[in-house]
Every structure is written in C-alpha cells, then in structure tokens.
Structure 1
C-alpha cells in the first residue's frame, strides 16, 4: 500500500540554466501534477520529536510524534524579492553600475563555454539588487538586521546586515561567492567613494577542507583562479580584481586566543592583553597538595576565594579566582585580516554553510528534544564562536559604516537547529533568495532521492521509511519499556541494512560493467552511508560490518575489512570535529584524506599532498620497524579513499564533503525536523555527471536510495507569516465545503503604482481635523526641587518653581516655515512610496499648496496650544499620515489613475477556502458565510455579523480573521497595516470593506487608507468594484445596507 511520499515517473522537468518554468505539485493522497510556473519559495515546519510533550517515557513520546504532520510556510521576503528582481531584469538592470552591467552580461552570455546555473545567477543578482536596484523596486523590502543580545550590546557590539541565500546542495555556492566577491571588489576599485561596496572580502567556512578548496577564490591566482576558470570576470578586469583582497579562514580562527607570553614573559606577569576573571575549583590530590596550591597563590598565579575542608579541618578543595589575558580586538583583527591593503573602511563577509552562524537563545532544559547529545556541545560552541567573531570584527572595524558592510550567508539549510535555543526548523529571517532542494531535483542539479513507498506488509507507511520508528515498535512489541538499547537496535536494524546493501551490490555490478564498456571514467565503487544515533551504536555496527562479528547475523561481505584492504570506515562525532580543525593526531589526518578522496582514483593535479606524504612516510617507517604492529605499507600515490565502500558515521559528515559516488543511505537515528532530514539526504545528492541529454535538453536522471530518513516533501497546507502553535486549542474555524457558494476571493495589495500621473489630488473630505490639545500632549511643565528628605515632591513647598513651556520657541517659528518642512517630507514620502512618476519640480509645489491649506484650515489649536506647535511630534507625524492617506494621483481630467501592486504569482489572490485555524475563543454560528463559524472581538462585531447574515442585499460575507486582507497605510509617518473587520459581497456584484468602530481613535486615517485601497483595486479592473464603509455601531451598518438596497432597487430586509 502506498505511503504519503508520492513518486513521479520523470522528476526532471526543467533545465538548470533557466528559471524553472514548471513544477510538480505534490499533495497528500493525490497523484503529483505537473503545473506551469515556478513554485513559491517556502519551508516545512514540523513539531520536533519529543518537543513540548511533557515527561512521558521517551519511547512512547517518539512513537506519538510520528503522527505530527508538517506544515508548509511561504518565505514571503524571498518571494517578494524574486518578483522585484524579475522586474529589475525587465528594466534592463536600471540603476546598475557600468561594472555591474559588464559582469551580468558576462554571466548571462549565451555563448559561454560553461553556462552558469540559474540558481547561481539569481542568488548573485538578488544581493546586487539590494544594493543597486532602483528605489521604487526596493520599496517595501525590509531585511531584518542581525541584532546582538543585551549583553553583547552592552559590550559594544552592534547589529549588522545579513542576506541569506538558500541554495540547494549541488547548486554551486562557491561560484556565487566568487561572483559577489568580484562584483564588490571591482565596483569599489572603479569608484572608491561608493558606499555599497568593499575591496576587502572575508570568507568564513566550517572546516579546513572547505577552506583549502576555497583558495581558488584568491584573485592573485589569476588565470588559475575561479574568476577565470569559471569565466566570472573579463580578462581586462583581472588587474583591478587583484587590487582587492580575499581572506579565507575557518570559524575556529575566530575564537579569541589566550596570551601565554608577551615578548618572552608571561602575559600574567606583564599584565598585557584583555583581562578576563574566572572562577574555578582546584581539588587537593596526590599530584597537587594543599601547600602547592597555596604556594601558587602566593606567587600570583591566582587568588584563593574560599577553602572547602574535610572533617579533620584539612583543605579538601580551593575555589580560586584567576585572571587570564586574551588578545585585544585590534590584535584579533590583525590576525584575521593581517596586512590588508584594501582602502575600504568596511568589509564584505561571506559565510559558507552559514546555518552554523546564529545567535543562541535560551535553551530550556525541560524541553524533551531529541538533541544529538554527542554533537550538541560542539554545535553550541561553533555557533557562539562564529557569531561572536563576527561581532568582534564589526566592532573592531568601527561598526556601522566602518564595520561589516553586509554579510552574505550561503547554505542549503539556513534554519535553526535543535539545541540552538531558537524555534527548531525556523528559517533565518534574512533569507532573500531561495533555490530549494525540490527545484534542484526538478532541474536535475542533484540526484533524485528514492524513498520507500510501499513494502510487502500492506501497511500505509513502509517500515523502512523510518527505520528508527520501526525498531522502536519492534522493541515495544517485544515487551520493552523505555529507550531502546543497543542490542535491540542491532537486532532489527541489520535487516534494512542488508536489504539496501543488496541494491548496492546491483549498482556495484552495473558500475563495473559500465567501466569495462568505457561508459565510466573511473573504476570506483558506489558508497553506502549509515548515519547512527550515537557512538555506541556506530561501534557495534562497525564490529558487525567491518570486522565480521557474527552475533547479529549475516553481514555484507563486500563491506568487510581485511588486512591491507579498508572497505568500511567509522567517523565518530569527535573525529569529525578533529577533522574540521585539521587535527593533531595522525589517524585523524589520515581519515580526513580518506574522506576527501572517496570516489577518486588519483590525486588532484596528480600531485600527492605534502601532508599526506609525510603521514605515509611515518606510517611505513613504523611498519618496517615493528612487524607486530599490523601496520600496512601504504602507497602514497593511491588516494586512501579510493576503495572505500561503506561509511558509518555518528555526525552527518563534514560540510563541503563533495563525494559524488554516494548511492545508498540508511538513517539509524531519530529525525526531529525536516531540516535534519535534508542535511543527511544532501550527503548523497551530488551528481557524477553534468552532461545534457541532446533529445530533452535536460540532465539525465541519477538516483540515491534512502532508508530511514523520513524526508517528507508534501505541503499539507500553505500559509504566509508565522506558524501556529504546535498544540492548537479545541475550537476549529474552517471553510465549510457545503457553503462553497459563499466563497469570497480578494487581491493581496502590497503597494500602489501611478501610470500616466501628472498631478496629486487631496480628498479634503477625508482629511479631518488635527486638534492640538495640551491635555493630550502637555506644553507647559512646572519644575520644582526635591524638598522633602525622603525625596517626595511637595507641590507648595519652599523654593522657587521653574515653568518650562514653548513660548520662547514659538517666537522663532513661522507657519510658512512649518508648511515648507511639511511639504518637503510629503514629497520624500510620496516618492518613496510611489517612485518618480511625478518629477520633483512638479511634485513639490503641489505638496506645498496642500501643506499650506492643511495648516490654515485643518489644524485647530485649543487652550494653551498655538498653531506653530503643529511642527512638533506627534502632531507633525499625524499630519503626514492624514495627508498621504487622503492623496491620490490623477490624470489631466482629475480622474484617479492609481492601481494596486499585487503580490507576485499565486500569492496575488487569497480566498476564504484557505481558512483553517484553531482558537481558544468562543465560536458563533453564521449565515451566508463560507466558514463554519466566526470569532468576534466585540458585541458590535457580533451584532454586525448577524445583520450581514440576515440582510437581503448581502450575497456573502466573512470576518477578516487570518484571511490575509491587509490595507497598507501610514500613521505618524510610519508604514503600518490595517485589517478591516468584514469583507462583504453584495447581490449586485459589488464588494465592501466594513469597519465597525465604537470610538473614533485613528479610524479616519484608516478610512482614508482603505478608500485608497478600494479605488486602486477597482482601477485594476480584475476584481470588480470595491467600496469602504466605516460604521460606528451595528445600527449604522444597517442604515448603510438599507441605502445600498434602495440604490439598487431592492427593498431592505
């Protein structure tokens, strides 16, 4: 019986060199459909295993969590930018510099020897657009800053800008780094005063493997650099490129180093560097007596704070305070960017595999997360050092304009991981571009993951779709209570491994045959990976697979190690950490070279690395000196990973591991998020060939077979914005299929555009009055000294009182001056909102006339207030909002020309049919509504809903609750969003937005904004006629409906 993982016959439907033109629509329980257009950028969020589930037994909890389904959420910022960048291309990159245009022309040239992937071009162009794109296209785009926490801010660290590029495994992130480095350096060299660029680029990566590979990004390599081998920079620009600098390092170097000595003397003695006080406990032991500890304190090594004694009064342990000295920020910066010659006051930073660089939140130890205990501490340390290093660089360079210009994050999975103290699986909020794994599969950029869809048991979900779950159930059926033991894991997990190994054996035979026929370049085996929960399980598996231990039944003979023949290797979490830093042990270094050469028959450039040659020399010498050591004589010319067939790993293997020969993966661990699933699956997805099929013009299909990694690609529902809580309340509001005739569709308006505009019109009836009232905002304050001993103010006590007011200020302010300032701000706001459709020299006089009339006729000072006070906030900001919300663009005949700018693609419209949410509020029955029930915030709303359901002129209505109808407007000069209470469809086809108010508040400002929304949507022509009604109470709504009924010849109900 088929599971909910849907299969398609031909998953590759797009070329990787153009924007995706179609996609597979996957929906649970239905056959996948090939649909035109590109899929929207989104992410899947699923309640993590064992998260917020109380304190039930771990085994029980994990089984229950299998039923928790994931939810798809749109990446709204990435979708918006995707459309804006498209618009920018249509304008032929308006605003781009000469250098930028030259680079983009080269990257998109149709005659390239090696075309760039669309994913690469889109990612680079998105960042460039955020710097060079025209102001009107960047309007409404707000990428959040990466804000330090309170303690970091107190230490002088400042927020900086980050742009995350979400790029699937195999889509070419290194090339994008090169494209952006070249763009920044060349623009800075061409115009040293340009603020958006830097000629100094710092690239940070997770390990030395990637660090060494990224050396091709050094401009000084000239024709051997990536800039020339991938045709990223024209030949005549290479000299300018070499005037910039690219620094590359792994995150470990960002850790502040402790000073051991200064000019040959102890740093503690000369007290140089940054002092940090720490407390620690020193126990009295056989190797360190109490006298020796006290002697160290006497010579100044530390200061004894307290002494813990035994019953006989002798010291047991000492708590000491010691001062350690670390390098200063200046020394740190010199070490990271030593000798930089760049002229930029700020630098461009690029984080490769940036999902490691995040600010840790507060981790709740009571949460029952299935955190990787063996890697959690290392993950936390890496994130802390990485982000604190960025903060320190930003501060040391001066911060703000002189720190990090901006930081580009590149990652296939820029999400928060378990144990991070953040919401697990939630994306970084600064994702600006997304080329997802699904898009990469459809474009053939990666292997197609094949997951179990059915088995012989007839179950809905195949057993090996989630091996860990299956093992738990089997153990439970055997009467086991609590977490599964290693013995139980080995009792059942060997079966799926042997089963998948049979498929590996077939693949191995095919590869051998293809090599013999000349259809494969290298005679290397396919690779089988097993990802384990912990080291204990990994050791038992290794004993069974590599050593041939018979206690767990038949193994896989092809994976068994023999003397001088290493077929299976084991990479524990600590070994993986050592490999990332380069390691100090010979075995760690050897394993690094093994991993780097899997699937390779010869060394890069046919040159043996000096480090590996030295390792082999030491090994061979020891083997000859000690024949009983069982060391194997190694041939340095043979890459040590060439013959490896199986890898048993506790971690997911180092990022940047670029083996292309992985064909089979078994997950033998719990998977708490789709993020973790994608990271593990990603290790198997790099292609072996990039040859295009001449018949289809698409890449040929390559596959990887996966057991036990429950990677679900199914969008159970799609929503924008923040996800709902994982445990919803009982009351359910949803679209009732039986009431589908009351469905209401509406547009999603993001802004406004003005085609053919020549002037601005103010609808003065909508402006209202601005009352300057000292009772609301005081303009007169009496100050007195503190006269009572306890600090209380005595109103009529002794001492002179001081009155502070605006009299002196008012004498120096003229209303004409205020009108001029108001007109200037109105002009700026108008252009920021709507672009340059009206030239400034024609726009400003119109704004000045409107400002003058507003002050003369619509500003009313009362009591002690004067008209000049209007120049002060909050009145000035209110005036801006009142005028802007009442303004519209008109043609020569005075008719409004403003049209709505809609959200891109499928997000342009929404409907009541997508409503599906839970609430703790009371539900109310409804009539003439697509929904099963409604929730009201006041009696006025409830009464209005009853009236709408009963009135004859109403065709359908809905409460605007989680529908997504939002009206943009300004209040106090700040952009805001307003949600009208109701959407109403009338019998005559017209539409109403209805607001029920009990008091005036800022209703008039919202009214003007909503009327503007209705006019712009009506002008669009695709959504019918829209109007807005503001009603103070349900009674006034009844009057409005009666009037509409009479207007259209229908008697009121």
Structure 2
C-alpha cells in the first residue's frame, strides 16, 4: 500500500488521479482502485481533472473567476522584512473547491440521487443518505487547512448568489463548531473577516470587471451575540449545542455538567442559560448555507445535531426556500463501524499529507528500544508504567533542547485510562523531573475524549481558565510543557508543538476513537514550508498496537532507536557552536558591514511618465464579431496560458474602467508600488486610447475591450509600463555609507529541511548545508585551504543582502553564497553558480561596486569578491584559495 513512485513531494502540485493513494498493492491499481476508495471519489477526481484541464467549462462566470483568482493567479504576500513571498493554496484545498463547484455548477446536484451517479463501488444505495438536502463532505488530513476550505466555500456561495441571477446558494452562513475550542480557533480566523483578506480569498477590485472587495459585506455573529441587521450578509458562528432546538438545547457554562460546555457532549437535564434559537433566525431569512468544521460528529440521523439541521431545512421549505448547501470538513468522516460517509466527494488522506510534509511524521521506537520496556508488577499506576513515562520524558527532553534553540517549545502529551491515574501521572512528572515542576497541565476527559468534570467539579471560571491554558500552551509565555489527560482532546485542540505522545491505555472500536484522531493533535506542524517534522509516539504494547493500525490507511510508520544516547528526531538545526571547546569563535567570526542601499524608487516621478516615448511596436486593432466581443480572454504574458475570462453582459455594455484598473493594479503589484494608482490609471487610459494600437480607439467600445484581451496588447501594455516606470523611478544614489555591521556569531539558530551537510572546523556554524552539490564541494574545498582562516555560508538567517537592479529593471535583493576570511585582514565574498542566468552579470557588477564602496569608507578590512562557476572549478581544481582568487575566474564585469 505504498504511495505511487511518481507521487510528488510538493503539496501545491496538481495531482493526477492515476497516482493517488489507495488501500491496496500497486498491482491492483488498474483493476480495483475505484472500488477501494470512498465510493464517489474515484469518478469525481477524474471528472474534476477534466473540468480543470478544460478551463472550467460549464462553471458560471462567477465560479470561473474565483477559481482562476484562487488557483491560477500569482499572489505575492508582503513579509516583515520588506520582501514578498508567493502564497499558494495546497492542491487538496484546490481540489475540494473545484469538486464542490463542479457538482453544483456543472452537474447541478440537487440531492442524493444526483450524487449516486458517481458511485464506483456499486454498493451505494439511497438509504445510506439521511439528509434530503444538498450535502458535500470533504475529507482532509488534520493540519491540511480545512478552515481555508470553509472560507473559500463561503466566499464562493456569497458571490455566486450576489452575481448569478439564477443562483440557489446563500449569503447567510451557519458555521458550526463541535466544541468551544474549535469555535475559538475559527473565531480567531474569522474575526474582522481577517482570514478573507489576509489570504487571497477576495479578488482585487476590477478583476474580471467586478468590485469584489467593495461587495463583500458580511457581519459576523458569535454564539449569543446575534444582531441581525440585514436579511443577507450574516455569518453565524456557533458551538453545535446552540443549534439544538426546544428541549434538546444543552451545554451552557451554567449547567451542572459545565465541563461538557468546554468540549461538548450532549448532557441530560435543563439549562438556565439564555440560548439563541436559530429557528427564530431562520424565520427572518430566506437563504442559508451550513458549514461544519470537524464534521464527523454530524453523521447520525438519530442525534440532535442532525435533527437540528434537518429542522432548519424544513423551516426554510415552509417558506418556499431550502437549505442551499451543507459542506462538512473533517479528517475522519466515518461512522462508528468504520464505514466512510457516502457523501464524501474529495479525499486528501493522511498518508499523502505526511509524504508532502503537510503534517508531522509519526516515529515509533524500534524493536530493540521497545524490548527494553515492560509493565512492572505494581498496584500503583505510575510505577507500573514507569518505563514508558521515562522514555517519553527522555524523547521529549531531546526534542525540547533542539527546538529551544530556535525559540520553540516542545510539548509532551501523556494519555491515561482514567482521571485518577491522570492525576497520579501528573504528580509523578512534577515530583521526579525538575524541568516539569509546575509545568504540567491536567485535563480530565471521559473515555471517548470528551471533557468530564465529574471528578473535578470545576466552576465556570476555572473551566474558562483551563480552556485558555490549553489554547495558549504553545506560547513561550505559557509555563506548561506537558499535558496529561485521559485522552488527547478529540478535535479542535490545534496545538502545533506536540513532539512526543505517550499512550498508557488501549482503545477499541467501542470507544469511537480512531488512530488518526489519537495522533491527530500531534500532527500539526511547528514550522512553515516543506521542512520534515516528527512526533515521537511511545506507549504500552496495547497502545502501540492500536497506533500501528493506522498503517491500514497507508501510513508508513518510521521506527528508530530511542532512549539515552540516541539522537533526537527533529529537523536540522543550524546554529553557532558557542559551546564547542574546539572552536575559537572569536577567530572564526566574520564581520560584514551593512551598507545603505544605493538603489531606491522615487515615487513622485511617476507623474513624469511620457507614454509617447515608449518606442514600442504598435498593436494592430482588430475587428471582432459581436459574439467574439462578449468573451474577453486574458492570457499570461510569459506563457500565453489563459488566466481568466470575462463574459460581457447580454446588453453588450462594458465598463472599460474595470479593465484599465486591472492593468494598473497588475503593474503596481509586479513592481511593488505602494502608491500612485490614480496617476498610473490615467497614464494607462491615455496610452490605450492613443498609443497602444495602430489607431485611436473608443474606450467605450466592446471591440476595444476585446482587443485588450489579446496577448499582444496585454504584453505590450504591461511590459512597456514596467520598463518605463523602472527607468523613470529607479535611481542610484551614487554613494553608500555603513549603517550597521553583521557578525556571523550573532546569527540566530534556525531549522532547515533534511539534506546533505558538512560538519565544519573553520566555521562558527555547526553545519554547512548547500543549496546545490557544488556548494557542499566548495565548502569542503574551503576546509582544506591552509590560507583560509574562517568561512561561513551566507544563510538567510545571517541577513546579509545587497540591493541591485535585476534584468527587468526592478529593485531586488541578492544574497551571496559564502563569506571567506583570509589571514591578511581580507574578506572575500564568493558566489558559486552551476548555470549562469541573465541576472548574474548584474549581481556581480553590483557586488564589485559594493566592495569598492566598502573599501572607500573604511580601511580596517579589505573586501573582495570572486565568482566560481562549476565547470571551471571542476576542470582546474585550484589547490589554495589564493590560487582561486588570483588565477581562477574572477568575474569579468
């Protein structure tokens, strides 16, 4: 059941259905794959692939615009250091939205019978569906970004209803959380509609001729704080318990069983809390969409949760409306008997998420390590399980020491079998390990993972404090380093820093717990990007047998030696070896001056832009038919691929202002201009009217807009404006001065992905990693050079960068590869390169200029540079660094 050999590591890569994981040997892929997956998923993956490859034909204009904005438009997000980074949605998130939109727009799914058309198993029947309304379930591994899927689905429904005349979707949303912890997390993302604007959920105004941001008018209501001011434009964010109606309303902080309010289970008995009757809300609105997070709870037609949603649907039916759509997201959409929800339309399994480093890799003790552990003969719980607890603490301590170097706190989690033993373990940890004294958080849960207060009798204030402590345990300010519980909180407890799980109890199917849920709270990653992270899992034989059953889901569990004297299973940490007695850090340190930038952009010059001096080749103005004029197609100026289309309304009336605004925003975004939109818009308007085409044009004409969508016109406009703006606004100060210094010894520790490295003797760093094999070879060469005192890799964490103007005329930053310290108070900056690109001469010219500037303003150290190309380095094999500098390939600039 291994992954397909061609399965990619990048979670953003579009996945072909033919390489997706399924629970059988590779030899059965051709004959049995579609019958061994969630019954609807196999056929839908292929249909959605065709839908995607065909440019979303069949989708409404609104849906196609949003899909192209989310997944086919580059999104640059500003960073705190002033640089920009590209944001991309995971493919799992993309496929989920594409599937939902395909089913609604193209297939026109109304009910279970429409969904059953995609059954590949032949075993799905109508009585497997309890609901009578439109419901789609998305299965996504914990940590793969389910909340982002909810935000995209919400935005799509809102705009679809707003812009599409016949839409049956909604602009009111009931977002349901299974417990108060999940609600807290969603509220943090949704507060102030932050998630919708921090992520590129909402398109820019002008994209495809719509004012998306101006039109996105929504009010967020949380729990009882509901103030309906409009019939549309409401998000009702609520704990599942507030959805119950009549006598079924449970779980208030004022309840006798108030622990259930904390993590939610349906209690018996009355409540004195004033609840919001969502039935009343439904009577005031005509449209509603339900979005469920961690939705495996809502699966049984006998439960009040399902009955409440059914009641809302029925009330809407009485008004001539209906529940527009229910979207559920969960990592484990399974019934108590293990059968998957038949409504599952998209699936990103845990095995794929682990392979693509979206979540942590579970690591278990190898056979030799497990053989050293045993349950002792003792009536005292902690004495009986001392081996497992001690091993867990050892593994946690090793991880804690490594992560602490980069300012992260590792968390230990221990699961027991009842609340009394939970307290025993907490006392054992605090009494036997000094570093855990006062650092253990105890949370009592029932056997099924729901919070219980039967043994603790905690009051509301204490529960709120517990809730806050559990949510903030990742923070450095939190005193807690370990959590002990009857079970890890079942869902919603999105702590990222769990590095070690210790299980002291076994689970059975009767407890309704899956191994994915047991491991789930420890799978969320601590670090962004594709860095491999690990969670060590240890425990009794019965517990380990339960955990290993996850292999049926295709997860290959890694095993390694654990205990004293073994290496920690953590990401690579690069740090300055201040405690290495064999290294003289003072001698190995390299100091680099930080110069003020020479290049800058003078924004006030934008008004001086002369559109008549572009010297461009004018674009022929073509005459299009009325049908051709209705479809405006925009293409990527570098690849020619279609990025998005605009269909003009049936009256043929188009607004050129939106199209010109789109061009202005594109130019500003690519040049990172922060002001000047009004000036630029006016320049583009005049350019299109008089200079772009081979004749004067009428901007109000639909034919002009159709001409503007041609690749030749788009490329001519954007490229010439970028070139002219750069030439006008990018200036060279002509001088630079030292404003600060960087010392390698002050570099903060950082983590990096698992890769080859060299352990250096002549560097302050503990490891030298290379972005290429050439860099590792070159580092080894520096180690062997007797005329090299010290050297260092110029990691991003060093923060040594030089501004330069790239081949496109933009101001950019250049990070040289190596810093080399020589005996005669010389420091040489080295650039290594396998293949030369168009920016290399510009970088080297700027590096030469930087050295000249430095040497002119100070005389303590002489700075020089050398360019090392791989072909010459391998061909001539210099014997010393001086030979490299004097006789090698110092770049001709």
Larger Rg: 1
Report the TM-score when normalising by structure 2.
0.49
> Which has the bigger relative contact order, CA under 8 A and spacing at least 6?
1
